Chains A and B, each alone.
Chain A
Amino acid sequence: MTNQPHPQDRPSPELRVEALETLLVERGLVKSEMLDGFIDRYANDVGPMNGARVVAKAWVDPDYHQRLIESGTEAINELGFSGPQGEHIVVVENSPTVHNVVVCTLCSCYPWPVLGLPPNWYKDPAYRSRIVREPRTLLAEMGLDLAPDVQIQVWDSSAENRYFVLPMRPEGTEDFSEEKLASLVTRDAMVGVGIVTVA
């Protein structure tokens, strides 16, 4: 148990992380190339563009939509998305009367296979503390004004289930291709702090 804050003259995190990596590499416990691989994967290959493809497919394919709601993990796996923080993904669907929003109050659990790593605001103590208590107020501050008759459902990811919001398809997109629809879908809409709009 740490019982004192760390001293002010502690080496910078840049030096500490270099020290940690060097010590582990010297002992043959990690390879720098393996670390490069993890970083490359989450910097380039795993991110909200994956989730956007899931959403767009659900909007155009009723059978897929049904599979996604009934067993989200398997339906998401169909598109090739799986991995850490995605053992069991539950899809919660927005409607004209229900809006869903996701948080992890205890740490920052997030559905990595479909959204990648969480943004700063998701990890912010202000988000973690306030979204469960005053979601309507906080969403408005974040730019999402919901009508008074829209019920807000907040999902606190406290175990290993991960929640993924299926936003509503915006009006005026009836003739959009699946690819074009995917380009509209934002990370914020899939966490529930935004909605999808036609730019």
Chain B
Amino acid sequence: MDGIHDMGGMQGWGTVLIEPEEPVFAEPWHARTFALGLASMGVSGTNLDAFRHSLERLHPLDYLSDGYYGRWLSCAEQLLVDSGILAPGAVEARARRLRGDKVDEPADVEECKPQYERGGAGSLRTIDVPPMFAVGQSVRAKTFRKPGHTRLPAYIRGHAGEISAIRPAAVLPDSTAHFVGEDVQHVYTVEFTSSELWGDEVETSKLFIDLFESYLEVL
């Protein structure tokens, strides 16, 4: 989906400050959220790609204002609600009770974890079909703009690059995030020039990005 999360090349942001001696977790609730975020994927029967897609589905204003662990917290809750582990509004009601509000908690709902076949742990897989593209070959990133999850960023779409490396095959996030199967594909590191991506008016650099086979077409 085209959303606020897809930030590559977006303009209007200011500078970046490196905070010296930054703690790993600035607040105790960040640490708790980190651990619960990791646990939520297993408990909800979902996966990392679904977690990332749930980040993308946050309202853009919340995405920006909640911060990194604020986003994680909302997404952990969303995955658990989507899977019927928690009723919609259960976390909110319990939090309100914790602060002293007199509110009722919703009744439990029926569990509905996603059902789909997995080929193993993690994301990397082996695949029998040979890679469609070879190192050094010129390719173009497709221009699709679909509503669901994808790892083909907007700033790459439609641009021409060159295959730089063939990486281990992996499950396709566009499929696993929606629990429709793993759709294992070859993954390529593709090199793009700055002039191809941004025109000749910008500084010169090279950009390397990992793209799934179905994101690419022969140039």
Contact = CB atoms under 8 A, between A and B. Distances in A.
Nearest to B212: A159
B130 interface: no
B34 to A, nearest CB: 7
A99 to B, nearest CB: 10
Interface stretch (A59-67, A147-155, A165-173, A175-183): A147-155
Contact of B206 (A43, A154, A158): A154
Interface in B120-140: 122-124
Interface in B183-215: 187, 189, 194, 197-198, 202-212
B119 interface: no
Which applies to chain A's interface (DSSP): helix, strand, loop or mixed? mixed
A158 to B, nearest CB: 5
Contact of A161 (B68, B76, B210): B210
Nearest to B90: A23
Given A16-B91, A35-B35, A39-B35, A129 B11 contact: yes
Interface residues of B, number: 85
A133 B207 CA distance: 9
A130 B16 CA distance: 9
B69 interface: yes
A108 B77 CA distance: 20
Given A34-B39, A156-B208, A136 B203 contact: yes
A11 B99 contact: yes
Contact of A23 (B10, B28, B91, B153): B91
A43 B66 CA distance: 22
A79 interface: no
B218 interface: no
A188 B21 CA distance: 12
A161 B80 CA distance: 27
B74 to A, nearest CB: 8
A156 B9 contact: no
A82 to B, nearest CB: 11
A160 B32 contact: no
Contact of B77 (A4, A20, A106): A20
B8 A105 contact: yes
Contacts of B165: 90
Contact of B85 (A29, A87, A90): A29
B117 to A, nearest CB: 19
Given A35-B36, A119-B18, A129 B59 contact: no
Interface string B83-121: 001100011101110110000000000000000000000
Contact of B210 (A14, A20, A158): A158
B89 to A, nearest CB: 11
B180 interface: no
B29 interface: yes
B205 A129 contact: no
Contacts of A22: 94
Interface of A: 1-6, 10-24, 27, 29-30, 34-36, 38-39, 42-43, 47, 84, 87-88, 90, 105-108, 116-117, 119-121, 123-130, 132-138, 141-143, 151-161, 188, 193
The 3 closest A-B pairs by CB, nearest first: A105-B8, A11-B95, A19-B94
14 contacts: A2-B57, A12-B99, A18-B29, A29-B85, A39-B34, A117-B24, A120-B26, A130-B13, A132-B197, A132-B207, A136-B203, A143-B18, A156-B210, A161-B187
